[in-house]
Structure 1
Amino acid sequence: MRDLPGIVAALHENGFAVLPSVISAEAAAHLRHLVEQYYRDPQVRSAGPEEDTLRGDVSLMRIFEHHPAFRDMLSLEPIVDLVEMILGPDCHMIAQNALRIPPGKGIVNWHIDDALFFPFLDTLPSTADGSTIPCYTLNVMIALSDIEDDRYGPTQVIPRSHLSGRRPAYSPDLPGTPVSLLSRAGDAYLVNSQTWHRGSPNRSDRTRYLLTTAYGRRFISQRLYPFIGYRLPAHVLEGASARQRRLLGHHDKGPYG
């Protein structure tokens, strides 16, 4: 039995939280196989930039369009329960991508995953209490391969950097000591979009696989290229539960429409 309120508190305090074994090693291997299958698909490899299926030869975009197994991960429990506790019961997925990081590669620059929401924090007389700072967007990252040592290129985070009021682009100095999120296939971690993080260099001889789903509060727009012209493929909704449909963006009417 997981302590969900405790995990939520850890996310607010530290900017990230770790959840071991959210899926089995076998399930992770199946998803890893699907990622590799998609990556090697000639249509994916030859698609032009207007298709936006592959970025930088490491990021597979809108992976939920590829196979129902990825769509079903949107509502994986207890992950989705945590996400709804943090972002509200009307939250939705804003992006879902897969990372395939071969030897010698890595998303090595420190970054945050959205605009800087709270630039005033660095002007406060003391470090803000994380529980008072709302989380608007977050990433759920599920390891699809073992990343149990630094040489395999784990995600690194800087604890409490979501409270720094700064972003890496304007502040080369780190606001804390990096922590490597070592994991086994099937482990997951939640990262506040404001937390400084990166994918450290893969210095091993094996490829690193990661499924990343970003969620946002209802008022945060989905980031599905080409944005205003994006249409969810009909097959994605086939067999989807009511919860999955809402996470995909099928909301009830609201104040603005």
Structure 2
Amino acid sequence: MTGPHDLAEIADSFHENGFAVLPSVIPSDTADHLRVLTEQRYQDPQVRTGPAEHDMLRGDVSLMRVFEYHPAFRDMITMEPLVTLVETILGPDCHMISQNALRIPPGKGIVNWHIDDALFFPFLEGIPSVSTGDNAIPCFTLNVMIALSDIDDEQYGPTQVITKSHLSGQRPPYSPDLPTTPTSLLARAGDAYLVNSQTWHRGAPNQSERTRYLLTTAYGRRFISQRFYPFIGYRLPDGVLEGASERLARLLGQHDKGPYG
């Protein structure tokens, strides 16, 4: 990598390996602020007692749709250079499909290997693939993950990936164990990494005595639906679009008319 944020080179690396790392995307005090907001949201009784359709907590570790909760989360959707990199990979009419804050306490983790969507390219199994340049396998959805606490050692339960697994044409076995060595994406608060939704990944178990915090924003191409429960009945809350730039409004789903309507 010729520079910390050489976007063309990072995009090539992403297509080749199924993930890419960007150090020091946000200042540590911004990460601290988002971490405090995550904890406040988690401690809010309404997260657990509100109407079922709000669905604000999943598995007691994932806080859903945090862009609704505070503008500090919403504004991360257009954080540079991440958003330009995302648009380079997914196209200029892409949008955000989900935004969750992860709070992983000691002893917990999203430990089973998985991909984040349907298996898009099953025909790749057993076929050597060119993964960069004009012949790159297209990416339809990806996750941008920003560390809100230091996850710079294996004990803190880092995100782990299997390099080039997005080109395998297979799902991983839904298991905490694989017969291959994963890559741990160690990070300091404020670092970010992108993971292709087809890349095999997991959150290793948090074996430390402190909670792990992570903001994860998923983006998809225009034809990929946004994942805001209850889906057909979802309505963007009043105020979320207040003061939003044209770019942010589009990433939130305010698109121009297209070929289907």
* TM-score (normalizing by structure 2): 0.95
> Counterpart of 2:129?
128
Residue 80 of structure 1 is matched in structure 2 by 83
* Stretches (4+) displaced over 6 A: 170-173
Whole-angstrom CA distance in 2 between matches of 1:237 and 1:169: 40
Following superposition, the deviation at residue 79 of structure 1 comes to: 0.1
Aligned match for 1:230, one of 208, 228, 234: 234
Tell me the SS of whatever aligns to 2:142: strand
Q: 1:25 to 1:176 in 2, by over 3 A?
A: same
Residue in structure 2 matched with residue 182 of structure 1 by the alignment: 186
Distance 1:172 1:17 in 2: 23
Structure 2 residue 213 is the aligned partner of structure 1 residue 209: yes
Aligned length: 255
Structure-2 separation of matches of 1:173 and 1:30: 35
Secondary structure of residue in 2 paired with 1:97: strand
Q: Kindly indicate whether residue 167 of structure 2 is the aligned counterpart of residue 167 of structure 1.
A: no
TM-score, L = length of structure 1: 0.96
Alignment match of 1:33 (pick from 33, 36, 40): 36
Unaligned runs of 5+ residues in structure 1 are none
Question: What secondary structure is seen at the aligned counterpart in 1 of 2:240?
Answer: helix
Q: Deviations over 1:12-59 (max 9, x none)?
A: 000000000000110000000000011111111323533200111100
Instruction: Write the deviation string for residues 77-128 of structure 1: whole angstroms up to 9, x where unpaired.
Output: 000000000000000000000000000000000000000000011142xx21
Kindly indicate whether residue 225 of structure 2 is the aligned counterpart of residue 221 of structure 1: yes
Query: Structure 1 vs Structure 2: percent identity of aligned residues?
Result: 76
Distance 2:204 2:45 in 1: 29
The 2-side partners of 1:139 and 1:21 are apart by 17
Rounded Cα–Cα distance in structure 1 between residues aligned with 2:162 and 2:254: 35
Find the counterpart in structure 1 of residue 155 from structure 2: 151
Shift, 1:234, TM fit: 1.6
- Partners of 2:180 and 2:131 lie apart in 1 by 15
